[in-house]
């Protein structure tokens, strides 16, 4: 319990000494606890002003359970005060709960802000990083302001939060700003409750705050320029075609002129990134509209304080280099979110006026994004020509968020900066679960009460750097949210690093875990569907369509074209794509032509002869692949829908070898004729469940069209339409059997908007109620949420055996 908030406060803000509300009114005192995002968002000064407006005495403080307030005065005024807490909260605050209890008055004589209180077992929500606010932006470009062109300007309404916080409660000594001593002017603002920077923890100015400087990456020694000159020089280098590493909010970006083919090509070559799209940044929406279509909803998202990368459709005749997003009709675009970005993009000191800069993660291929100065100089030394550095440390690595608008609503693809660590709110109370996620695009999730704290994007768990980033991320979340997990959830795949991490925890008994902690393996596609159900608040049994690239099945094969009936507790497999051989395992994923050969293997030779596909493959490799298919050497079976798309993409000559995950399918989608509504007829078997959906008729029909010279755009459209129609057809068969009419769609395949739009159309027409993802990615970035809710339900079930672990080995 809170106690001892007597007279010994550090910050006495008494405005007058006379007791308020003294004239013959009913007096009372209330203790109020406000929960939500209420720290680091100007909440205490807001409460201070509100109390003064209502002529109430008492105090306010930050505690680990939220903002705690006591007010004393007229009971009527107290009630109005409580109502106003929610009604007029500051812009960045998220008020989740206001609890109040009335007590006898004790004669407070003023209203004061108390020092923060800590309690070990309580937690508060932590604000994500927020882009520079309009007030700070105005000051940034106001020559009369003392922070004119200062790249670290911020206030209680904006600036870094999550990425600089080391622990709670959120106070300057617990952030990476602890090293900076405020100057008298900053201190005055910091302690003045009527100032916008009152208790703005990262408050800083050119006199006392962090600094920026430029280092030439190619030469050692003292060749750095500082301050404004450094930014102008960086911009000058960018105009000359250089690649500059720029330290941002959650890590480094590699930056170059997005209109310059040569620069973009050089960046691709150095980064080892062949075709995967780069994100770009423009000064404002007006600049974006020069090269992309922007709807109202998209504009809102671009300008939101979270400042995500928004996927937008390109305009023709765009000045942006085609190398920024090869073979893609969309561009990932964001607006500036730090003052440094604004200074870099705004044209002062620039001889030419580029409408956009490439802003891609500062890393080599799939390693984690660099965050420290020394680390960047070392790891990005061969990638960047110069480094724009600063000395405000980044405590937590946080990549940019990627999102887009679908059917007028946000549908997130990568949930990270600006979003994490804001929780997904669930409709039910959870145990404290740590869910470790899967492998690609990984995130983890920890739950407490009715919150699911999904981590920022961690990345592909394929190297030790990412694993260590994952491990330290979990430790940080556990500390921040005061969590000691009573359940651990993980993917069934025995080779995933996240699974190994979970099993390691079990065997080496981390100190914080009790010996009784249950470890719950969760099937990948069940987790996908549960994630969709959790964010949509659907606790009942549904038909789940989980289409993705790879997920370990209960039979040890690679699943990915799955129709389940499931709820949080359990699932049954009702239908799936027919198994084909994944010739050479990982090699078949990198080389879609291997999948094409596998799908065509059992088709009549007369049908497949003369296909250009076979002319493009080295005869020796062709022979090896055929042998792998025949004998099952080094190959498992797969029902993956991702591989089906890959195979069709290769068969049509669109993409034989991928350079990033999903490339073949994305290029197939991009080519599909939007206006074409017809699809191939896909015969579905009736009868026994699970239904096995044969893919041979589809390949037969495609080859027929291919040989008849039907344009690729039409074939792609007919294929997409056939898949959409097949999904709703299979759902009808399941509905006949199980009587279910709610359908959840999940898995990375549904990032394909051509497919998603048409699938939803068919399902709605046939009277289904479909659910899709909005707040959480449909790809593996959303898996951890599903794992958490499943583990929570399984542990609560009477059939659950405590401490049981089973990891299936590959079945033959």
Count residues binding Zn ion (CB under 5 A). Answer: 10
> Between residues 61 and 136, which has the closer beta carbon with respect to Zn ion?
136
Contacting residues for 128 by C-beta, under 8 A, at least 6 apart: 161, 162, 306, 417, 418, 419, 420, 421, 422
Q: Minimum Å distance from CB 418 to Zn ion?
A: 15
> Between residues 206 and 544, which has the closer beta carbon with respect to Zn ion?
206
Q: Minimum Å distance from CB 116 to Zn ion?
A: 22
Kindly give the residue spans of alpha helices, DSSP state H, lying in 346-496. Answer: 373-379, 464-480
Q: Minimum Å distance from CB 204 to Zn ion?
A: 6
Q: Minimum Å distance from CB 170 to Zn ion?
A: 16
- Contact between 130 and Zn ion by CB under 5 A: the answer reads no
Contact indicator for 344, 247 with CB cutoff of 8 Å: no
What are the backbone angles phi and psi of residue 247, rounded to the nearest 5°?
-75, 125
Residues of span 683-742 touching Zn ion by CB under 5 A: none
The binder of Zn ion chosen from 98, 112, 130, 136 (CB under 5 A): 136
Q: Minimum Å distance from CB 146 to Zn ion?
A: 8
The binder of Zn ion chosen from 37, 112, 158, 647 (CB under 5 A): 158
| Distance set, CA 408 to CA 295, 305, 310, 411, 530 (Å) | 9, 19, 13, 9, 24
Q: Minimum Å distance from CB 161 to Zn ion?
A: 12
Contacting residues for 338 by C-beta, under 8 A, at least 6 apart: 131, 132, 151, 248, 249
Separation CA 259–CA 327 (nearest Å) = 16
Question: How does strand 225-226 pair with strand 636-638?
Answer: unpaired
Q: What is the DSSP string of 26-48?
A: -EEEEEEEEEEE-SSSSHHHHHH
Q: What end-to-end distance do the CA atoms of the chain give, in Å? A: 59
Q: Minimum Å distance from CB 200 to Zn ion?
A: 8
Contact indicator for 369, 361 with CB cutoff of 8 Å: yes
Q: Minimum Å distance from CB 692 to Zn ion?
A: 58
368: left (phi over 0), alpha (psi -120 to 50) or beta: beta
> Between residues 133 and 740, which has the closer beta carbon with respect to Zn ion?
133
> Between residues 202 and 583, which has the closer beta carbon with respect to Zn ion?
202
- Contact between 133 and Zn ion by CB under 5 A: the answer reads yes
> Between residues 208 and 364, which has the closer beta carbon with respect to Zn ion?
208
Q: Which stretch binds Zn ion (CB under 5 A): 2-10, 92-100, 125-133, 678-686?
A: 125-133
Kindly give the residue spans of alpha helices, DSSP state H, lying in 426-517. Answer: 464-480, 497-507
Residue whose pair of structure tokens reads 């993980």 in the numeric block:
490
The binder of Zn ion chosen from 88, 181, 207, 472 (CB under 5 A): 207
- Contact between 155 and Zn ion by CB under 5 A: the answer reads yes
- Contact between 205 and Zn ion by CB under 5 A: the answer reads yes
Separation CA 29–CA 32 (nearest Å) = 10
184, containing H or E segment: helix 184-190
> Between residues 133 and 706, which has the closer beta carbon with respect to Zn ion?
133
HEC states along 328-367? CCEEEEECCCCHHHHHHHCCCCCCCCCCCEEEEECCCCCC
> Between residues 165 and 595, which has the closer beta carbon with respect to Zn ion?
165
> Between residues 92 and 498, which has the closer beta carbon with respect to Zn ion?
92
Angle in degrees, CA 299, 300, 304, rounded to 5: 120
The binder of Zn ion chosen from 208, 297, 622, 713 (CB under 5 A): 208
What are the backbone angles phi and psi of residue 754, rounded to the nearest 5°?
-60, -45
> Between residues 153 and 314, which has the closer beta carbon with respect to Zn ion?
153
Q: Which stretch binds Zn ion (CB under 5 A): 208-216, 224-232, 615-623, 798-806?
A: 208-216
Separation CA 183–CA 201 (nearest Å) = 14
Which two tokens mark 478?
């556990």
Residues of span 355-374 touching Zn ion by CB under 5 A: none
Q: Minimum Å distance from CB 135 to Zn ion?
A: 5
> Between residues 205 and 698, which has the closer beta carbon with respect to Zn ion?
205
Which two tokens mark 568?
């949080």
The binder of Zn ion chosen from 157, 373, 466, 695 (CB under 5 A): 157
Separation CA 335–CA 321 (nearest Å) = 18
Q: Which stretch binds Zn ion (CB under 5 A): 148-156, 173-181, 584-592, 784-792?
A: 148-156
Q: Which stretch binds Zn ion (CB under 5 A): 205-213, 283-291, 601-609, 641-649?
A: 205-213
Contacting residues for 760 by C-beta, under 8 A, at least 6 apart: 407, 745, 770, 772
> Between residues 136 and 564, which has the closer beta carbon with respect to Zn ion?
136
Q: Minimum Å distance from CB 155 to Zn ion?
A: 3
> Between residues 196 and 573, which has the closer beta carbon with respect to Zn ion?
196
Q: Which stretch binds Zn ion (CB under 5 A): 134-142, 214-222, 642-650, 766-774?
A: 134-142
> Between residues 155 and 412, which has the closer beta carbon with respect to Zn ion?
155
Q: Which residues pair with 98 in a beta bridge?
A: 34
> Between residues 94 and 811, which has the closer beta carbon with respect to Zn ion?
94
- Contact between 249 and Zn ion by CB under 5 A: the answer reads no
Q: Minimum Å distance from CB 46 to Zn ion?
A: 15
Separation CA 148–CA 283 (nearest Å) = 18
Contact indicator for 28, 75 with CB cutoff of 8 Å: yes
Q: Minimum Å distance from CB 159 to Zn ion?
A: 6
Kindly give the residue spans of alpha helices, DSSP state H, lying in 240-321. Answer: 261-271, 285-288, 296-303
> Between residues 170 and 278, which has the closer beta carbon with respect to Zn ion?
170
Separation CA 676–CA 682 (nearest Å) = 17
Q: Minimum Å distance from CB 647 to Zn ion?
A: 52
- Contact between 274 and Zn ion by CB under 5 A: the answer reads no
Which two tokens mark 549?
């690239």
Binding mask 164-203 for Zn ion (x = CB under 5 A): -------------------x--x-----------------
Q: Minimum Å distance from CB 142 to Zn ion?
A: 13
Q: Which stretch binds Zn ion (CB under 5 A): 87-95, 128-136, 297-305, 526-534?
A: 128-136
- Contact between 137 and Zn ion by CB under 5 A: the answer reads no
Q: Minimum Å distance from CB 249 to Zn ion?
A: 14
Which two tokens mark 301?
């998202």
Q: Minimum Å distance from CB 628 to Zn ion?
A: 60
Q: Minimum Å distance from CB 130 to Zn ion?
A: 8
Which two tokens mark 27?
């007096």
> Between residues 200 and 255, which has the closer beta carbon with respect to Zn ion?
200
767: left (phi over 0), alpha (psi -120 to 50) or beta: left
Q: Which stretch binds Zn ion (CB under 5 A): 127-135, 310-318, 366-374, 738-746?
A: 127-135
Q: Minimum Å distance from CB 785 to Zn ion?
A: 32
Q: How many residues does the chain have?
A: 812
Q: Sheet of 94-103: strands edge to edge? A: 94-103, 27-37, 66-74, 57-63, 111-113
Contact indicator for 59, 12 with CB cutoff of 8 Å: no
> Between residues 136 and 384, which has the closer beta carbon with respect to Zn ion?
136
Separation CA 394–CA 362 (nearest Å) = 14
Binding interface with Zn ion (CB under 5 A): 133, 136, 155, 157-158, 183, 186, 205, 207-208
């Amino acid at each position: 319990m809170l106690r001892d908030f007597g007279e010994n406060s550090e910050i006495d803000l008494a405005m007058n000494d006379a007791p308020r509300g003294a004239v013959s009114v009913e007096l009372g005192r209330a203790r109020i606890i406000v929960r939500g995002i209420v720290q680091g968002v100007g909440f205490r000064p807001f409460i201070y002003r509100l109390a003064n407006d209502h002529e109430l005495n008492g105090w306010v403080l930050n505690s680990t359970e939220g903002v705690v307030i006591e007010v004393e005065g007229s009971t009527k005024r107290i009630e109005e005060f409580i109502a106003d807490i929610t009604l007029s909260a500051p812009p960045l605050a998220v008020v989740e709960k206001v609890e109040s209890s009335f007590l006898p008055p004790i004669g407070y004589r003023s209203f004061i802000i108390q020092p923060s209180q800590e309690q070990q077992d309580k937690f508060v929500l932590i604000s994500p990083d927020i882009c520079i606010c309009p007030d700070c932006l105005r000051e940034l470009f106001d020559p009369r302001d003392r922070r004119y062109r200062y790249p670290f300007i911020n206030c209680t309404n904006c600036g870094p939060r999550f990425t600089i916080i080391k622990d709670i409660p959120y106070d300057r000594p617990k952030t990476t700003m602890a090293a900076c001593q405020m100057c008298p002017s900053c201190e005055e603002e910091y302690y003045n409750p009527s100032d916008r920077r009152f208790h703005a923890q990262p408050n800083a100015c050119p006199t006392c705050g962090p600094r920026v400087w430029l280092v030439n990456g190619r030469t050692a020694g003292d060749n750095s320029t500082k301050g404004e000159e450094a930014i102008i020089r960086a911009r000058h280098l960018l105009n000359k075609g250089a690649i500059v590493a720029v330290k941002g909010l959650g890590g480094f970006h590699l930056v170059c002129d997005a209109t310059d083919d040569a620069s973009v090509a050089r960046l691709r070559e150095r980064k080892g990134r062949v075709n995967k799209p780069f994100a770009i940044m423009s000064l404002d929406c007006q600049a974006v509209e020069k090269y992309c279509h922007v709807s109202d909803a998209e504009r809102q998202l671009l300008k939101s304080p979270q400042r995500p990368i928004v996927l937008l459709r390109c305009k023709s005749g765009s000045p942006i280099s085609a190398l920024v997003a090869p073979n893609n009709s969309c561009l990932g675009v964001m607006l500036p979110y730090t003052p440094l970005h604004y200074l870099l993009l705004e044209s002062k000191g620039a001889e030419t006026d580029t409408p956009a800069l490439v802003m891609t993660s500062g890393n080599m291929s799939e390693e984690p994004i660099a965050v420290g100065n020394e680390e960047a100089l070392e790891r990005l030394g061969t990638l960047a020509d110069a480094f724009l550095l600063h000395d405000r440390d980044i405590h937590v690595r946080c990549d940019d968020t990627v999102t887009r608008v679908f059917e007028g609503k946000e549908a997130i693809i990568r949930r990270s900066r600006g979003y994490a660590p804001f929780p997904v709110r669930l409709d039910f109370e959870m145990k404290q679960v740590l869910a470790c996620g899967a492998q690609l695009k990984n995130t983890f999730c920890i739950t407490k009460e009715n919150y699911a704290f999904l981590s920022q994007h961690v990345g592909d768990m394929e190297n030790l750097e990412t694993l260590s980033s994952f491990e330290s991320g979990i430790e940080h979340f556990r500390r921040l949210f005061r969590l000691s997990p009573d359940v651990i959830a993980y993917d069934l795949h025995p080779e995933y690093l996240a699974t190994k991490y979970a099993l390691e925890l079990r065997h080496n008994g981390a100190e914080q875990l009790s010996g009784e902690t249950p470890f719950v393996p969760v099937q990948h596609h069940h987790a996908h569907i549960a994630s969709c159900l959790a964010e949509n608040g659907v606790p009942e049994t549904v038909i789940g369509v989980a289409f993705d690239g790879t997920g370990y099945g209960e039979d040890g094969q690679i699943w990915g074209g799955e129709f389940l009936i499931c709820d949080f507790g359990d699932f049954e497999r009702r239908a799936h794509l027919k198994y084909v051989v994944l010739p050479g395992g990982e090699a078949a994923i990198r080389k879609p032509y291997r999948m094409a050969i596998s799908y065509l293997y059992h088709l009549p030779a007369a049908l497949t002869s003369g296909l250009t596909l076979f002319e493009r493959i080295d005869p020796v490799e062709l022979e090896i692949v055929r042998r792998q298919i025949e004998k099952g050497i080094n190959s498992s079976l797969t029902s993956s829908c991702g591989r089906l798309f890959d195979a069709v993409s290769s068969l049509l000559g669109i993409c034989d070898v991928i350079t990033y995950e999903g490339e073949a399918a994305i290029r197939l989608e991009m080519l599909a004729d939007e206006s074409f509504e017809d699809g191939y007829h896909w015969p579905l078997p009736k009868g026994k469940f699970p239904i096995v959906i044969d893919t041979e008729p589809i390949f037969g029909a495609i080859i027929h069209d291919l040989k008849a010279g039907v344009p690729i755009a039409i074939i792609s459209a007919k294929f997409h339409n056939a898949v959409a129609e097949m999904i709703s057809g299979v759902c009808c068969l399941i509905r006949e059997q199980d009587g279910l009419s709610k359908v959840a769609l999940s898995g990375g395949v549904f990032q394909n908007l051509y497919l998603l739009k048409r699938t939803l159309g068919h399902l709605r027409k046939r009277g289904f109620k479909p659910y899709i993802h909005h707040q959480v990615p449909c790809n593996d970035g959303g898996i951890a949420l599903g794992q958490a809710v499943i583990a929570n339900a399984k542990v609560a079930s009477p059939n659950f055996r405590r401490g049981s672990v089973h990891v299936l080995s590959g079945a033959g």
